[in-house]
Amino acid sequence: MVLQKENSQMVDYFLIGWIASLLAILFVFRKNVEIQFPIILLKSKSLGEKVYRISRGWKGWLAPLSDLGVLVGFAGMAFVVWFLGKTLVQTVITGAKGPAAVSIIIPGVRIPGSSIFLPFTYGIISIVLLAAVHEFSHAIVASSHGVKPKSIAFALLLFVPAAGVEIDEAKLAKHPLRTKLRIFAAGSFSNFLFAGLVLVLSFGLAFVAKPHVTPVGMEVVSTEPGSGAYGAIANGTIIVSIDGTDVRGFDDFVAFAKKITPGEVLRIESSDGRVYRVQATAQSANPDSGKIGITTKQKAEIDRFGKVLVWILGLLQWIFVLNIGVAIINLFPFPIMDGGRMIADVIKELWPKYSRNITIALFSLTAPLLALNILIPIVKALFFK
């Protein structure tokens, strides 16, 4: 099921309410506000103390889970370095085209070169939740090991929310490497776990929503140049059958598409009774399989209760995607990220005499890897269309 776009009026109301809420919160707690331009921090020492009191006795059951988080953290670190390295080689050396592998994401803003557009309402809610999960996990694991958070902060970069935990670095330095790694890995690991929980919830909610959604066809979003559909089927056309097979539902459409062979002529019928004859072309990745050459999305009739459920499913979809994405990129070995803290402490433990030089050399290699993956798609989109 492809979820419908947000209603612009709802976005406007949410934007007004969001900004009004921010201004009210900042005014009420103005004594705790700290400005580090362009970031605004709302720090709470009392919240850090509460987390410490509640979770300082949790080490017994939390430690084994935290060790698993460390293993997942290093696996994620290796994956993100490999993935960005592979993507950069493909982009720079082979000149391969495609969406950015990693992109800056701002709710309601289209970033050049990125295929991802994060709707404002979904974005704000998702980011608040993922930031809370990430930072409170750091605070909880630190507290369970006797490292008291100095403060927990709600942060704003313009209107984009974030969060942070201020750890007593002097006390943290006295703890063994294993403890430090547990604390640093906790944020991303918790985002992975939260994403899994959201995925399970989404399946359950989709089952509940299904009776309230009636598929009416597959709407053509775009046609691929050079394909049989290009210039023959207009965007917005709603396909209801192909060769007499009903393809109103997404699953039916995908099942039929898998059987298409190159060269066969397909009889495509739209919801307004028009009939198109399109010759299938070969897929570039698999020449033995055919394709129509269209990108589609599900068109459906949804009742009032179904619309609420579908909107929530859309939110859960973004919560899942952003938690996975942030968890992975935050494991990248770069100083301001958790992955950077993890690898720097490992190097310091293994090679204390040369740790500074090794760490600087490592970060000098990884910084361009991340920066170029972000910047090249933007430059291409702006200047080499």
pLDDT digits (tens, 9 = 90+) for 129-172: 999 999 999 999 999 999 999 999 888 877 788 888 998 888 89
Do 184 and 322 belong to one domain? yes
Do 78 and 153 belong to one domain? yes
Do 235 and 159 belong to one domain? no
Do 145 and 263 belong to one domain? no
Does 132 map to a domain? yes
User: What pLDDT shows up at residue 5?
Assistant: 45
User: What pLDDT shows up at residue 181?
Assistant: 97
Q: How far is CA 150 from CA 52, 59, 93, 143, in A?
A: 10, 19, 47, 11
pLDDT at 352 over 80: yes
User: What pLDDT shows up at residue 42?
Assistant: 86
Do 120 and 58 belong to one domain? yes
Do 43 and 118 belong to one domain? yes
Q: How far is CA 73 from CA 188, 189, 209, 238, 333, in A?
A: 7, 7, 35, 45, 11
Do 187 and 317 belong to one domain? yes
Would you place residue 244 in the very low, low, confident or very high pLDDT band (cuts 50, 70, 90)?
Answer: very high
pLDDT in tens, 170-223: 889 999 999 999 999 999 999 999 999 999 999 999 999 989 989 999 999 999
Does 306 map to a domain? no
Euclidean distance between CA atoms 274 and 25, whole angstroms: 56
* Average pLDDT of the residues in 88-94: 73
Does 220 map to a domain? no
Would you place residue 102 in the very low, low, confident or very high pLDDT band (cuts 50, 70, 90)?
Answer: confident
Do 139 and 165 belong to one domain? yes
Does 107 map to a domain? yes
Q: How far is CA 55 from the centre of its chain?
A: 29
Partnered with residue 35 across adjacent β-strands are 40
In the chain, the number of structural domains is 2
User: What pLDDT shows up at residue 1?
Assistant: 36
Would you place residue 10 in the very low, low, confident or very high pLDDT band (cuts 50, 70, 90)?
Answer: low
Two structure tokens written together for 90: 């493909």
pLDDT in tens, 269-315: 999 999 999 999 998 878 888 999 999 998 989 999 999 999 999 99
pLDDT at 3 over 50: no
Do 162 and 248 belong to one domain? no
Do 49 and 159 belong to one domain? yes
Do 276 and 129 belong to one domain? no
- CATH number for position 266: 2.30.42.10
User: What pLDDT shows up at residue 292?
Assistant: 93
Euclidean distance between CA atoms 380 and 385, whole angstroms: 7
Count of H helices and E strands in the chain?
A: 10, 12
Does 1 map to a domain? no
Domain range for 287: 225-292
Does 213 map to a domain? no
pLDDT at 8 over 80: no
Kindly state the helix (H) or strand (E) to which residue 43 belongs, with its residue range.
Answer: strand 39-44
What is the full DSSP assignment across 7-33?
PHHHHHHHHHHHHHHHHHHHHHTGGGE
Do 62 and 154 belong to one domain? yes
